[in-house]
Amino acid sequence: MNESVPPPSPAASSSPAPSPSGPPAPVLDVWCDLECPDCRSALGDLRALRERYGDRLDIRLRHFPLDKHPHAFAAAQAAEEAAAQGRGRPYAEAVLARVADLGRAGEGLLVEIAGELGLDAEEFDTALIDGRHILAVDADVAEGKAIGVRGTPTYVIGGTRLDGGQGQRGLRERIEEIADRLLAGA
């Protein structure tokens, strides 16, 4: 699905990262549920996009935990804690790589993965108990709903929303077309 979306509100997201050559890099928001098998399938495309564009494309994980995944909200909070400890992307990728395990093992796996990555696992446990990252996750969900996100993964780049929940085929190419156009116009 391709749909135009309104730009995010100024308070909803931080400004795009500056590219080394001057203007800000285009932003690719990836609305993700860390317990979603389709999001796991998207990892290869996201890695390829990072490899192709480097810091010329700002790829941002946005949380959109789905009700059908019982551990997705906790996983989103844990990813926020990983980001606070400086390892957000590696943590999110590690959780997605173990989607099936998360469904069976639950929140204990989130703390275990933190320890495997050398993060402060005790602080993860505390963060999940005290809910310090709930507002950040809720803000992403609210923004996603406001722009029409209904499933995951959903990509938003240059005002265009692309739905990856029905499969990844062709999406990376479409994202590359839009990113190339945005970069050419910068």
pLDDT of 118-137, one tens digit each? 999 999 999 999 999 999 99
SS3 (DSSP) at 28 = strand
Tokens describing residue 14: 């931080």
Q: Confirm whether pTM is higher than 0.75.
A: yes
- The whole-angstrom separation of Cα 108 and Cα 159 is 38
Asked if 104 contacts 47 with a C-beta cutoff of 8 angstroms, the reply is no
User: Chain-wide mean pLDDT for the chain?
Assistant: 88
2 has pLDDT over 80: no
Percent of the chain with pLDDT strictly greater than 90: 80
103 vs 157, residue with greater confidence: 157
Find the mean pLDDT for residues 2-30.
59
Provide the pLDDT for residue 164: 78
- 63 C-beta neighbours (distance < 10 Å), count: 26
Angle 88-97/37-53 helices, nearest 10 degrees? 140
Provide the pLDDT for residue 22: 66
